[in-house]
Amino acid sequence: MQISKFMTPEIIFGNHSLGQVGESLRRLGASRVFLVSDPGVANAGWIERIISYLQQQKLDYHLWTNVTANPKDYEIHAGIAEYRAKECNAILGVGGGSAIDAAKAIALLATNEGSIVQYEGVDNIQHPLPPMVMVPTTAGSGSEVSQFSIIVDSTRKVKMTIISKSLIPDIAIIDPQTLMTKDKLLTANTGIDVLTHAIESYISLAATPLTEVHSLQAMRLIAQHLRPSVASQYNTEAKQAMAMASLQAGIAFSNAILGAVHAMSHQLGGFLDAPHGEVNAILLPHVLEYNYIAAPEKYRQIAECLGENTAGLSTHAASRLTLKAVKELVSDLDVPQSLSAIGLHPEQIDLLSSLAVLDVCMTTNPRDMNVHDVATLFRQAL
């Protein structure tokens, strides 16, 4: 077995765990906290509650909510200017993947000079980051436990993948109650993102026994609880299960990386400013079909985790049930199922394909893929 590393933050999970935000920052040495979130989270009432916990610990704070659904480089540069102007010394990210990715990017620039675009790729961060606590309010990106930050280069209209163990937060606080203020479309989109994380990390070339156990359990939870979570905002059992699924899938992909779905969706998200989970839902069935020959035994395991009965079936027949299960789930959640529906035009495919093969997530896809292969998949998904 090859040598591998497995890293996670300190994790605090459970209903009412938000109450530990102030104490967590205090023991990391924070005195003035830069609180990164978005208007939707603030309107749901979570920021007001978070601030009360900071005040209980007598922590000063500055709230910054100028982040969009796909955070842009210029937003990060504006954020770091405020961080410095307010003389903050710790970062608290509260929200979905966009707010948390933005918080991590601001933390990066707090101790590393230059523009955020200089840090695209793997292990380009030179200096340690300030203390970071992340609180996800979706299930979700998994960014609260990952070594990833995804930021749009607004000049190239491309999502940059920044990967470094320095980006793993010090503490992740996951309170499933925050999921109860999300509508069904956001719940569906983020849930499919979790499924994609679980599957891609499981079949990744960098998967290990330590990551696979998390990937598989995330799939089991998704199969049982994503539909009920989308159906009802107030299904507490489903929310707790999806919060755990997101956490476990995030731990898995942070250590095993991802694959072609994310390499392709990063390009679409940057180019079209489209919701990440929505793009994944469209691409996942097509990429699964392409990757099938690389990992039929693992596809059998995926099918079983997704609730398919594989007893007595050959590996081929059993593994093909993975495709059936994923297509049925996407259909049941009523999310868009074609790239044309979210604004992609055929003449844009060649450019996006040439960029996708350069994405760092493509390096761990289990089947080799060139520009022509990517373009073919994009066209199939139109």
- 89-114: b or e for each residue (b if 16 or more CB lie within 10 Å)? bbbbbbbbbbbbbbbbbbbbbbebee
Q: Tell me: the pLDDT tens digits for 185-215?
A: 999 999 999 999 999 999 999 999 999 999 9
Q: What's the pLDDT tens digit per position in 104-135? A: 999 999 999 999 999 999 999 999 999 999 99
Mean pLDDT, to the nearest integer, of 337-366?
94
d(CA 66, CA 74): 11
The answer on pLDDT for 80 being more than 60 is yes
Confidence of residue 4 (pLDDT cuts 50, 70, 90): confident
> How far is 56 from 154, CA to CA, in rounded Å?
39
Judge whether residue 46 has pLDDT over 70.
yes
The rounded mean pLDDT for the chain is 95
Q: Of 314, 327, 250, whose CA–CA distance to 288 is shortest?
A: 327
CB neighbours of residue 134 within 10 Å: 27
Please tell me the pTM assigned to this model.
0.95
pLDDT digits (tens, 9 = 90+) for 209-233: 999 999 999 999 999 999 999 999 9
SS3 256: helix
Q: Give 272's pLDDT tier (boundaries 50, 70, 90).
A: confident
Q: Where are the domains of the chain?
A: 10-178, 182-381
CA distances, 82 to each of 54, 76, 87 (Å): 19, 10, 8
Q: Which two tokens stand for residue 14?
A: 């459970």
What does the alpha-carbon distance between residue 360 and residue 36 come to, in Å, rounded to a whole number? 27
CA–CA–CA angle 100, 282, 238 (5° rounding): 60
Amino acid at 184: K
- Mapped onto helix, strand or coil, the DSSP state of residue 127 is coil
pLDDT value at 2 more than 80: no
Which amino acid is it at 198? A
The CATH code of domain 10-178 reads 3.40.50.1970
pLDDT digits (tens, 9 = 90+) for 146-161: 999 999 999 998 899 9
The pLDDT, as a whole number, for residue 61 is 98
The reply to whether domains 10-178 and 182-381 share a CATH topology is no
Spatial distance between the Cα atoms of 221 and 211, rounded to a whole number of angstroms: 16
Average pLDDT over residues 15-21: 97
Q: Can you name the CATH fold of 182-381?
A: Dehydroquinate synthase-like, alpha domain (1.20.1090)
The closest alpha carbon to 187, from 149, 147, 267, 241, belongs to 241
